[in-house]
Chains A and B, each alone.
Chain A
Amino acid sequence: MERAWVLVLLALSLGAEAFAQPLETLIIDETKTLEESVCVELLARALSASGFFTLEARFDIPVGLNPSGKQYDLIVIIPEQVRQIWLVTADVPARLPDPIRRALLFVRESATQVYSGAGSCAARQVVNVAEDLAPALYATVLAQSGWLR
Chain B
Amino acid sequence: MTHPVRFHRIKASVVAVVLGVVMASGAQVPSPEQIMIQSDDRFEGNDFAARVKLTNVEPDGRTSELLLEMKTKLREESRQAKKHRYKILARVLEPADVKGLAVLVWENVWPQLDDIWLYLPALKQTKKVVPENFRNPIFGSEFSFEELTEREPAKDTHQLLKTDKILGKDAWVIKSISKTPDVDGFSYRLTWVVQEWLMPVKSELYDKNDKLLKRFMTDEAKVLQNVPTRIKSTAENTVTGRKSTFELIDPKYDTGLSDELFDPKNLGK
Contacts and interface: CB of A to CB of B under 8 A. Distances in A.
B136 A44 contact: no
Given A37-B120, A40-B120, A59 B127 contact: yes
A117 to B, nearest CB: 14
Contacts of A34: 103, 116, 118, 129, 138
A55 B123 contact: yes
Contact of B123 (A33, A41, A120): A41
Interface size class of A (residues with CB under 8 A): 20 to 34
B129 A37 contact: yes
A83 interface: no
Interface string A22-56: 00000101001111011011101101100000010
Interface of A: 27, 29, 32-35, 37-38, 40-42, 44-45, 47-48, 55, 57-59, 119-120
B210 interface: no
A38 B101 contact: yes
29 contacts: A29-B127, A32-B129, A32-B130, A33-B129, A33-B130, A33-B132, A33-B133, A34-B138, A35-B133, A35-B136, A38-B98, A38-B101, A40-B120, A40-B123, A41-B98, A41-B122, A41-B123, A42-B98, A44-B122, A45-B97, A45-B121, A47-B122, A55-B122, A55-B123, A57-B125, A58-B125, A59-B125, A59-B127, A120-B140
Contact of B101 (A33, A41, A48, A57): A41
Given A41-B101, A42-B98, A120-B140, A57 B133 contact: no
A42 B121 CA distance: 10
* A-B CB proximity, top 5 nearest: A44-B122, A57-B123, A32-B130, A41-B120, A45-B122
A27 B123 contact: yes
B62 interface: no
Contacts of B137: 120
A42 B139 CA distance: 13
Nearest to A58: B125
A42 B127 contact: no
Given A34-B129, A35-B133, A45-B97, 17 more contacts: A27-B123, A29-B120, A29-B123, A29-B127, A34-B118, A35-B136, A37-B118, A37-B129, A38-B118, A40-B120, A41-B101, A41-B123, A55-B122, A55-B123, A57-B123, A57-B124, A57-B125
